[in-house]
Amino acid sequence: MQKFVFLLSFLLFFAACRNNSDAPKLSKSESQNQRMVEVIYAKGFEIEDQGNIKVITLKNPWPGTDKTFKYALVKKNSPLKNPENYDAVVEVPVKRIVVTSTTHIPSLEMLNELETIIGFPNLNYISSEKTRTKISEGKISEIGKNEDLNKEILIDLNPDAVIGFAVEGNNSAYSTLRKAGIPVLYNSDWTETSPLGKAEWIKFFGALFDKENEADSIFKNIETEYLSAKKIASEAKETPTVISGAMYKDVWYMPQGGSWGAQFIADANGDYLWKDSEGTGSLSLNLESVLEKGHNADIWIGPGQFTSLGEMKNASQAYSQFKAYKNGKVYSYSMKKGESGGIVYYELAPNRPDLVLKDLIKILHPQLLPDHDIFFFDQLQ
């Protein structure tokens, strides 16, 4: 799903629970067999491998909560002690799955598990050509909206698992599904602020499909490409200044200094002018303060939903006062869309931070990556 429309377009760019004490106690022999799956960058989940049982501990399911969730992933015919102590019990590998965010889809595609998706809310948001083919074939059902999931359709689909996300943890549809015996697992990839942390959530799906090795290999390739590109960027002789965002109803929204997008700019060796602002979400500023601080910025990344310089100027003459606008150095991630209007960046960028970083390096330091073709961004004309 393209989360939240306008405000979180900036956040996405830049932007019945039990705690751990409820976990069942392991015998000495069981504890000797357990190991923690390596999760380096992601802060929102842990995976403990106990052999025929894996336990996902979900942390930070939504901002501002200290709740944790425990999910047991059990191989067929494997006994599970104290199943009531888990928030969901899932037989793996999963064969039929419902996902609720477009950011989940690339992981399934990379793991070659696209065929397992049977339901999704707001199908028009999906941009992936492969997944859209499955939709056109009638193999993926529309299940309503995230705020109002069609419980009847979901119960009829009878998936092995529903992968949801929560802003405040009050989606009544999830409670209904649990009562109907359908496991619901939260995925909080969107709360990660590290580019590699978001991408590492492929390991969450790897555990569900019993493909931990594949997920680890895919992630390591992304990590290697990202860190290699970051090193190349660090060798740039200049550090261009950068602004971001645009106005919505007279308020300028842009990423905070600790956000995902601000990290991308830093790793691309750009000087984001609001890098020192605290927080991981979105700043809300007035035009005067942005113009005062950012009018001489070299590059403008992510100007909202605008698709041309003329459209920007028609919306506000103030945009044309910025140096980046005057020099035509305005770059948008909103123009590449799927056939039904879904924005490719929202869906794929969290899973492929290496491509985002290479794009930004190409924009900020074009001489460093002469053979890279920009994937997500377009220079506004």
What value does the mean pLDDT take over residues 23-32?
Answer: 44
What value does the mean pLDDT take over residues 226-250?
Answer: 96
DSSP state of 85: G
Task: Tell me the residue range of the domain where 299 lies.
Answer: 233-379
Which of 173, 195, 223 is the last residue before a domain boundary?
Answer: 223
Could you tell me the CA-to-CA distances from 56 to 36, 65, 70, 158, 163 in Å, in that order?
10, 18, 6, 22, 13
What value does the mean pLDDT take over residues 43-54?
Answer: 94
Cβ proximity of 233 and 368 under 8 Å: yes
At 23, is the pLDDT very low, low, confident or very high (cuts 50, 70, 90)? very low
Task: Tell whether 2 is covered by a domain.
Answer: no
Rounded Cα gap, residues 311 and 214, in angstroms: 45
Q: In what order do the strands lie in the sheet with 35-36?
A: 35-36, 45-49, 53-59, 68-75, 88-92
Rounded Cα gap, residues 118 and 95, in angstroms: 10
Task: Tell whether 27 is covered by a domain.
Answer: yes
Cβ proximity of 237 and 143 under 8 Å: no
Residue 148, pLDDT > 90, answer no
Q: Is residue 218 domain-shared with residue 110, that is, in the same domain?
A: yes
Q: Is residue 240 domain-shared with residue 276, that is, in the same domain?
A: yes
Which of 197, 223, 249 is the last residue before a domain boundary?
Answer: 223
Residue 358, pLDDT > 70, answer yes
Q: Is residue 275 domain-shared with residue 174, that is, in the same domain?
A: no
Q: Is residue 132 domain-shared with residue 269, that is, in the same domain?
A: no
Buried b (16+ CB within 10 A) or exposed e, 93-118: bbeebbbbbbbbbbbbbbbebbebbb
Q: pLDDT value at position 33?
A: 63
pTM for this prediction:
0.90
CB atoms within 10 A of CB 21: 6
Cα dihedral 358, 363, 369, 374 in deg (nearest 10) = 60
Look at residue 323 and give its three-state secondary structure.
helix
Task: Tell whether 290 is covered by a domain.
Answer: yes
Percent of the chain with pLDDT over 90: 84
Task: Tell whether 1 is covered by a domain.
Answer: no
What value does the mean pLDDT take over residues 201-215?
Answer: 98
Rounded Cα gap, residues 251 and 273, in angstroms: 18
Q: Is residue 186 domain-shared with residue 114, that is, in the same domain?
A: yes
Q: Is residue 119 domain-shared with residue 193, that is, in the same domain?
A: yes
Residue 64, pLDDT > 50, answer yes
What value does the mean pLDDT take over residues 339-365?
Answer: 97
Q: Is residue 201 domain-shared with residue 177, that is, in the same domain?
A: yes
Task: Tell whether 72 is covered by a domain.
Answer: yes
Q: In whole numbers, what is the pLDDT of the chain averaged over residues?
A: 91
Residue 14, pLDDT > 90, answer no
Top mean pLDDT of 27-31, 147-151, 162-166 is at 162-166
Q: pLDDT value at position 20?
A: 38
Percent of the chain with pLDDT over 70: 91
Q: Is residue 245 domain-shared with residue 375, that is, in the same domain?
A: yes
Q: Is residue 260 domain-shared with residue 290, that is, in the same domain?
A: yes
Q: Is residue 306 domain-shared with residue 335, that is, in the same domain?
A: yes
At 29, is the pLDDT very low, low, confident or very high (cuts 50, 70, 90)? very low
Q: pLDDT value at position 19?
A: 36
Task: Tell whether 329 is covered by a domain.
Answer: yes
Q: Is residue 147 domain-shared with residue 206, that is, in the same domain?
A: yes
Domains: count for the chain? 2
Task: Tell whether 34 is covered by a domain.
Answer: yes
Rounded Cα gap, residues 114 and 97, in angstroms: 10
Q: Is residue 241 domain-shared with residue 204, that is, in the same domain?
A: no
Which CATH number is 160's domain given?
Answer: 3.40.50.1980
Q: Give pLDDT tens digits for 79-126.
A: 999 999 999 999 999 999 999 999 999 999 999 999 999 999 999 999
Which of 198, 223, 248 is the last residue before a domain boundary?
Answer: 223
Task: Tell whether 228 is covered by a domain.
Answer: no
Q: Give pLDDT tens digits for 257-290.
A: 999 999 999 999 999 999 999 999 899 999 999 9
Compute the C-alpha angle 148/151/156, nearest 5°. Answer: 145
Q: pLDDT value at position 34?
A: 76
